[in-house]
C-alpha cells in the first residue's frame, strides 16, 4: 500500500476521522506502515473489551462489544497486515469472515490455529474468495484451497507459527483473538503492539481479555507506553507498545 493510499484509510470511508484527530490516529498505524516499507516483521494484536475488561459473555457472545468506529479501526488494521490470525475458539464461537469491509484496502490472508481439526469445512473463514486461507492442524476434509502448515519441530509453539508464516511471505500479522491465542503470543514475547478497544458497556461477568501467567508483585507487571484515542461514539482505543514495556 502506498503512502497516500495508507492515509486515505482514515478518510475514504463512512467513518472518516475528523481532521483534527487524524494525525495522532495515523501515528497508531505507524509501526505497521514502517514494517511494510522496510520489510520488517511486525505483530499487532487487538481486543474489543467491555469497560470491565471482558471480551465476551460467559456463553461466548461478543458481537458487538464495540460500536462502528472501533469496528472500522479493526478493519483498517486488517487492511495493513499480511495475515490475520485467530484461534480455534474464535472460529468456533464467531464464525468470522476476517475480510476488509468497512474501509478501503486489500483483504489479508486468514490463518486459523486449529490443532484438533474442530473447524468445519463450511466455516466462513475458508471461503474461496481468492484470498489465502492457512491452517495449523485443521480438519481432514477442508477445501483444497486451504493451505496446511506445520510449525517446525512439531506442536504449535508461537515461535514456530511466526516462522512458518514468515516462510510464506506473511510478516505483518494481526492477532485477532481470542484471549487464549493472544495470551500465548504475549507470553512468548511476540506482540509489538496491542490495540485495546473499549466499548461503552459493562458486562459484569464473562471472559477476560488478557490472561498471562500469574505475577507476585506489581514490579513484574507490564507497563507499556502508548496512546489513547476517543472515537466519536465514545469508544476508546488504548494502544500498548509492548516492545518498550
Ligand X SMILES: NC(=O)c1ccc[n+]([C@@H]2O[C@H](COP(=O)([O-])OP(=O)(O)OC[C@H]3O[C@@H](n4cnc5c(N)ncnc54)[C@H](OP(=O)(O)O)[C@@H]3O)[C@@H](O)[C@H]2O)c1
Residue 205 binds ligand X, judged by CB under 6 A: no
Kindly state the number of chain residues that form the binding site for ligand X, as judged by CB under 6 A.
Answer: 29
Nearest to 237 by CA among 73, 23, 7, 78: 73
Q: Smallest distance, Å, CB 215 to ligand X?
A: 20
By the 8 A CB rule, do 76 and 101 touch? no
List the one residue from 17, 44, 65, 84 that touches ligand X (CB under 6 A).
65
List the one residue from 22, 180, 210, 236 that touches ligand X (CB under 6 A).
180
Residue 206 binds ligand X, judged by CB under 6 A: no
Query: For residue 5, what is the DSSP state?
Result: H
Query: Scanning residues 26 to 55, which ones bind ligand X (CB under 6 A)?
Result: 47-48, 55
Distance CA 120, CA 136 (A): 14
Segment near ligand X (CB under 6 A); pick from 28-36, 83-91, 222-230, 236-244? 83-91
Segment near ligand X (CB under 6 A); pick from 30-38, 127-135, 171-179, 233-241? 171-179
Q: Smallest distance, Å, CB 35 to ligand X?
A: 22
Distance CA 38, CA 182 (A): 25
In the chain, alpha helices (H): 3-7, 19-28, 30-37, 68-80, 88-94, 158-167, 179-187
Residue 87 binds ligand X, judged by CB under 6 A: yes
Query: Scanning residues 140 to 169, which ones bind ligand X (CB under 6 A)?
Result: 156, 158
- Which cell goes with 136? 495449523
Nearest to 210 by CA among 242, 180, 235, 237: 180
Interacting residues with ligand X (CB under 6 A) = 47-48, 55-56, 60, 62, 65, 86-90, 93-94, 113-116, 118, 156, 158, 176-181, 184, 207
Amino acid at each position: 500500500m502506498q503512502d497516500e493510499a495508507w492515509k486515505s484509510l482514515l478518510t475514504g470511508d463512512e467513518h472518516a476521522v475528523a481532521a483534527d484527530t487524524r494525525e495522532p490516529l495515523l501515528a497508531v498505524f505507524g509501526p505497521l506502515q514502517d514494517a511494510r516499507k522496510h520489510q520488517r516483521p511486525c505483530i499487532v494484536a487487538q481486543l474489543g473489551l467491555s469497560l470491565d475488561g471482558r471480551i465476551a459473555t460467559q456463553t461466548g457472545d461478543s458481537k458487538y462489544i464495540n460500536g462502528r468506529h472501533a469496528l472500522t479501526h479493526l478493519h483498517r488494521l486488517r487492511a495493513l497486515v499480511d495475515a490475520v490470525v485467530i484461534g480455534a475458539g474464535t472460529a468456533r464461537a464467531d464464525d468470522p469472515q476476517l475480510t476488509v469491509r468497512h474501509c478501503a484496502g486489500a483483504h489479508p490472508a486468514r490463518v486459523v490455529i486449529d490443532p484438533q481439526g474442530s473447524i468445519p469445512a463450511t466455516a466462513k473463514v475458508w471461503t474461496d474468495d481468492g484470498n489465502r486461507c492457512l491452517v495449523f492442524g485443521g480438519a481432514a476434509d477442508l477445501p483444497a484451497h486451504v493451505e496446511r502448515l506445520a510449525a517446525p519441530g512439531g506442536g504449535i509453539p508461537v515461535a514456530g507459527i511466526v516462522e512458518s508464516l514468515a516462510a510464506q511471505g506473511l510478516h505483518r500479522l494481526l492477532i485477532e483473538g481470542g484471549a487464549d491465542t493472544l495470551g500465548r503470543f504475549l507470553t512468548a514475547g511476540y506482540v509489538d503492539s496491542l490495540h485495546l478497544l473499549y466499548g461503552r458497556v459493562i458486562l459484569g461477568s464473562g471472559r477476560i481479555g488478557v490472561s498471562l501467567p500469574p505475577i507476585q508483585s506489581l514490579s513484574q507487571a507490564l507497563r507499556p507506553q502508548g496512546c489513547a484515542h476517543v472515537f466519536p461514539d465514545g469508544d476508546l482505543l488504548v494502544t500498548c507498545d509492548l516492545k518498550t514495556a
